[in-house]
Chain A
């Protein structure tokens, strides 16, 4: 029972990170109908920049902030310079280009930083508090929850209560109509990518301290888990991304805990296949047709 409680909290904590990452994927999918397969590599790249800044200045938080801002910049640049020119006639085009970006990013990172694992420090203690003899959450876990909650709330407020958010939603749902109404649809797309990449960078900074270390491929498995989370929730649903993230986090935790860590990645893939076979639209999908 103790073990179950511990695994549950641990799963929720990791799940929060997958939720944030899945949210970044859903943001871009909703705006552009592209799954950003480069999201993990982009997050790692900004984490490396954060690492360099931390190492140079001695301040973890400065590096953290730079990593997230770097995400904003990298997302905007990627959209403007690369993704804007992708031909949308086939969904595969966006995937191929993104995978190409992954190769480039990981290659460049390897050249600059080498392929050994660099230490990814956690800003707070990772020792779990014990309540009544049961290990629950650590300070770091609480920080992760808090950070993801803040991000989710901020994004929700942005999209539903601000005119920028209204423009972004309109640009995603009906780009031509939005242009006719004076909305700078291209600019909204760039902003969407920038925000999504910043969220991805934040998620990266939250998860890397729990991995083996900083490495060009460090986010690959996280990407697969988050992508599964987004699909489980329904690619069009932000709530689905959060729910999917928590589900995947819990699943990974239980499987690791009861069956062994090597089996865990397989469990994610089994979940992905199961969802695609049983309810491919995701748990939170509506069968709403797109507006003409």
Chain B
């Protein structure tokens, strides 16, 4: 299994005190990796550093083995990395269609961009029915679909997802997780998934990384994390 994304001794934060300390991480191509941990563990900061929104104080991020230092945030999507941020980032003043189109504007191949857009509408039927609705009229589940769909319009290789289950009903969460599994199986999509909903995340993940206070405290395959009671109690709270 080749590593699509790697972090080496990543240290990053906002202001004086770093939030992430010496984080090492490997995401294998075609896998779903879950990043777990309590609030404040640094999971969102990790994703923001990986996608370039935050510049690390130390350490580096490698994509396909190449250092991402100096690569601007706007370039990441062109390298196949789609980051759906905390809160989903649906632009509420724009319509569903405008949000989705925004995800594909960077593509040079306009024909395939249109094809990808239609595929997303086929995938998310509620969005197709609400093309002209402004973002603020969508429910939480619909916004999650929109944020995901918008990321998929760019045909990414790596999807960074920050708490997709936040505020969603269990049934909707299960649908999202099922979709991620399907995308991995059918298209080889690699997913790095930050989640507080541990059970849902481990139900689809291949690997799990547990963070606490800005450090990685456990890195194992999902089955082990599900079964190891001590680890679960100590870091995952159940």
Interface residue ranges, A against B (CB under 8 Å): 163, 166-167, 169-170, 173-174, 176-185, 288, 291-292
Q: Does B106 contact A (CB under 8 A)?
A: yes
Is B58 in the interface zone, CB < 8 Å from A?
no
B98 within 8 A of partner (CB): yes
Pairs across A and B, CB under 8 Å, 19 listed: A163-B101, A166-B98, A166-B101, A166-B102, A166-B105, A167-B102, A169-B93, A170-B98, A176-B85, A176-B89, A177-B89, A179-B53, A180-B51, A180-B76, A180-B89, A182-B74, A182-B78, A182-B154, A185-B74
Please give me the residue from chain A that is nearest to B135 by CB atom: A291
User: In terms of DSSP, what is the predominant structure of the interface of chain A?
Assistant: helix
A180 and B105 alpha carbons, distance in the complex (Å):
12
Task: Collect the chain A residues with CB atoms within 8 Å of residue B78's CB.
Answer: 182
B93 to chain A, nearest CB (A): 5
Chain B residue nearest to A174 in the complex (CB): B91
Q: Which chain B positions have C-beta within 8 A of A292?
A: 87
Known: A182-B154, A184-B74, A291-B135. 6 other contacts (CB 8 A): A163-B101, A174-B91, A177-B89, A178-B91, A180-B85, A288-B136
Number of A-B contacts (CB under 8 A): 74
6 smallest beta-carbon distances between A and B, as pairs: A182-B106, A177-B89, A182-B77, A291-B92, A179-B73, A174-B91
- B51, B98, B106: which contacts A183 (Cβ < 8 A)? B106
Interface size class of B (residues with CB under 8 A): 20 to 34
Q: What B residues does A288 contact at CB under 8 A?
A: 92-93, 136
Other-chain contact of B105, A173, A177, A179, A183 (Cβ < 8 Å): A183
CB <8 Å contact, B105 and A181: yes
Docked Cα-Cα span, A183 to B135, in Å, equals 19
B219 to chain A, nearest CB (A): 26
Among A166, A179, A184, A288, residue most surrounded by chain B Cβ atoms (within 10 Å): A179
| A residues near B98, Cβ cutoff 8 Å | 166, 170
Contact flag A173-B74 (CB < 8 Å), given A166-B105, A181-B103, A181-B106: no
Q: How far, in Å, is B177 (CB) from chain A's closest CB? A: 22
**Residue numbers in B under 8 Å from A179 (CB-CB):** 53, 72-74
Q: Least Cβ distance of B144 to chain A in Å?
A: 14
Q: How far is the CA of A41 from the CA of B45 in the complex (A)?
A: 43
CB of B83 closer than 8 Å to a CB of A: yes
Say whether, besides A163-B101, A166-B105, A180 and B91 are in contact (CB < 8 Å): no
- Rounded to whole Å, the gap between the CB of B96 and the closest CB of chain A is 13
**Given contacts A166-B98, A170-B102, A288-B136, is CB(A181)–CB(B154) below 8 Å?**
yes
